[in-house]
Structure 1
């Protein structure tokens, strides 16, 4: 929706929390996803866990709230991830909380519980905060302070639930149509249901043994780095990526450069040991000595550039070969690899390793 007219003014010191329709999960433990770097206050934390109906879920996870859930939350359902996002917004203690239809990802019983314990004016954890809730669940509308009706991308009506019903406009017609099609067999909606309903609805017959070992709660394994002497097989792998042609060129260049360097020193030593005849030195012999020495120096310079070019060209080829091999293996990895491997680690494989 684009803003056609008007503006929104927010106090600069106000904190804003946002719960997106698609839950965002950080690559960390469930507790760290909720506290989000803030100081852990146990009483507040436990109250939020209860308000967001996460207690039964923590009981089912092998490590409780210390279980790693990964970047995409592969071991959580959509509703569980959404409740974690709502819990994060509650724990942030923000002055304004924007929620983009977070209750659509959970079942009706849990949605009612969360509305009562998180959003309602009576018992809600956020009752003293400004709450903006986007929802298509009409059963919650009688309990909100103000309703903004959006039709065809524009705001068509605003007011309390009673006012909009009295206006007999589009909202009233829609509510009556909805009520006719979706009559509840159990009478009016009751928000003050017992906590046990959640356990009965969400409880699963899973026998999970809770292990005290921290390692079993980890989803993301620590990256291993080898230290010490480099194995010969690693060198051979790199030489293979370098290709034998460029390896031979580099070796010939380096060996030839050293031979030219040693040869020029030996030639200079031999030249300096020549004895002059009658106090003079034969001009032809001197020119020959000088020419050979110059050729050895030029050969040394050429072989240095030859080896440097071979090294530069070969390392580029080796880098490209290793990069393509790594990329091929990454692309052929199973989806579980991407679910359990942080994206930053994958990027580091290409730009550092």
Structure 2
């Protein structure tokens, strides 16, 4: 199922490139789908069997109890019969929930197994306890990092260019795999500086940021990080089902001035005006649906509001347009009045505009640092990777003092405009006037044909009549007494 969903998720790449799917790929998809269909068919059959047998068991038990009681020579009185009948009906309700309870127990077992795997994982070891120099925030000395996980986890990362070498080891009886992704890194980041990280796809930019928060295993070398906490903005934005304000506060107390400054710096002011309840609007699965750029800016605002000493930003400008990116960079990341101007920021990005304003730029390739230094120095290196990236780009850098015009259109609707009708009231539906005979006929055909549909409908009607006849038969039996009345 996971493989099928992964292939399905990446289909847009094939469609965008206009590629044709190979016959072998279609065979793999058909095989996965066939296995999934087989398991779903078995699960639905067992569920239908349980749903059918559960009510029948109560009826059979009632009949067997009354027959046994009367055949043993006892006289069945109406009060006793209906009392027993009521008890069996109560038991029937409990038994009807038994199949669902068994399914819930199975799901709970899977969830507990996942929690157990997480809790049984290796404990995170803090960075080297040696004291950092007063002017340094991060220091890596000959550091080699590796992803740690099962074969399935490593296989998923293989397509992202992160797989270089593997080493199996036994941990608590489970075979895990170490996949080395960063090699012999030596890096010093000064406090209050802006470090830019660039490189090709799969070069290790995201892995470098993950290593600083302890998600990668340190195999060799040393890593020292200053105290004060780290705020990490991932490349894949996420929100949870709550108000927009709670998504930004993330459990921290509300400070009005700090909150408003964060909203303005991250370019969310216009979004709050468009939402029906402002920052109290519920977002997430059960609330208002935010665009990708809006989610990314909410993630950035969450990190900025946390007020940490070190900020790790994994390409936060990629999900927004050029104007919003400029606003965020100048008011939040790097500018005379930027909120993070006194913080240590590590920015992984493909934007030459942003890299040109960094204090130091690090260029990665295949998990190793191939260039480092101020942007002006790297730009002058002939044949260097950064110089080649600069030549390929049509933009030479951010303007020093650009004027950002106040525009009433969205700073926030760079991807999809927000439909105010959706926020404030429900759009009137358009009712179809055509006949529904053809779709109904197709539905019956997909159910197995007319014969199967008629048999299924007859079985449901017969089941309802049987349930009703149960009480009628009991009343007739009690009225008959010992049989002398007939």
Give the TM-score range, shorter chain.
Answer: 0.5 to 0.7
Cα-Cα RMSD? 3.5
Q: Structure 2: 5+ residue runs without aligned partners? A: 1-161, 163-180, 185-220, 427-462, 468-486
| 1:267-309 CA-partner distances (Å, limit 9, x unpaired) | xxxxxxxxxxxxxxxxxxxxxxxxxxxxxxxxxxxxxxxxxxx
Q: How does 1:42-191 map to 2 (within 5 A)?
A: 42-71=256-285, 75-179=289-393, 182=394, 189=399
**Matched residue of 1:167: which SS?**
coil
Contact 1:148 1:157 in 2 (8 A): yes
- The change in CA–CA distance for 1:137 and 1:172 in structure 2 (over 3 A counts) is closer
Post-superposition, which runs of at least 4 consecutive aligned residues in structure 1 deviate over 4 A?
71-74, 200-211
Q: How does 1:268-279 map to 2 (within 5 A)?
A: none
Give the match for residue 4 of structure 1: 183
**Matched residue of 1:102: which SS?**
coil
How many Å apart are 1:172 and its aligned residue? Answer: 4.3
- The change in CA–CA distance for 1:27 and 1:200 in structure 2 (over 3 A counts) is closer
Distance 1:37 1:115 in 2: 26
Distance 2:284 2:420 in 1: 23
- The change in CA–CA distance for 1:73 and 1:80 in structure 2 (over 3 A counts) is farther
Q: How does 1:10-29 map to 2 (within 5 A)?
A: 10-11=225-226, 13-29=227-243
Count, aligned residues: 215
Distance 1:154 1:72 in 2: 43
The answer on 1:196 being equivalent to 2:411 is no
Point out the structure with max Rg over C-alpha: 1
Distance 1:73 1:81 in 2: 13
Give the match for residue 324 of structure 1: none
Aligned to 2:247, which of 33, 41, 53? 33
- The change in CA–CA distance for 1:121 and 1:145 in structure 2 (over 3 A counts) is farther
Distance 2:412 2:237 in 1: 19
How many Å apart are 1:125 and its aligned residue? Answer: 0.6
Contact 1:62 1:209 in 2 (8 A): no
How many Å apart are 1:92 and its aligned residue? Answer: 0.3
- The change in CA–CA distance for 1:209 and 1:106 in structure 2 (over 3 A counts) is closer
| 1:113-136 CA-partner distances (Å, limit 9, x unpaired) | 100011105221111111111100
Distance 2:340 2:395 in 1: 30
How many Å apart are 1:192 and its aligned residue? Answer: 3.1
| 1:210-258 CA-partner distances (Å, limit 9, x unpaired) | 87xxxx9xxxxxxxxxxxxxxxxxxxxxxx9xxx9xxxxxxxxxxxxxx
Contact 2:313 2:347 in 1 (8 A): yes
- The change in CA–CA distance for 1:72 and 1:80 in structure 2 (over 3 A counts) is farther
- The change in CA–CA distance for 1:32 and 1:168 in structure 2 (over 3 A counts) is same
How many Å apart are 1:79 and its aligned residue? Answer: 0.1
| 1:165-210 CA-partner distances (Å, limit 9, x unpaired) | 123242343134324xx358xx964663325147465565855698
Distance 1:51 1:160 in 2: 26
Distance 1:62 1:35 in 2: 20
- The change in CA–CA distance for 1:195 and 1:27 in structure 2 (over 3 A counts) is farther
Greater RCO, CA 8 A, separation 6+: 1
Contact 1:23 1:82 in 2 (8 A): yes
Contact 1:109 1:198 in 2 (8 A): no
- The change in CA–CA distance for 1:3 and 1:173 in structure 2 (over 3 A counts) is closer
- The change in CA–CA distance for 1:177 and 1:196 in structure 2 (over 3 A counts) is same
**Matched residue of 1:9: which SS?**
strand
Distance 1:150 1:72 in 2: 41
Return the structure number with greater helix share. Answer: 1
Distance 2:287 2:405 in 1: 26
Return the structure number with greater strand share. Answer: 2
Q: Give the alignment's TM-score, normalised by structure 2.
A: 0.40
**Matched residue of 1:127: which SS?**
coil
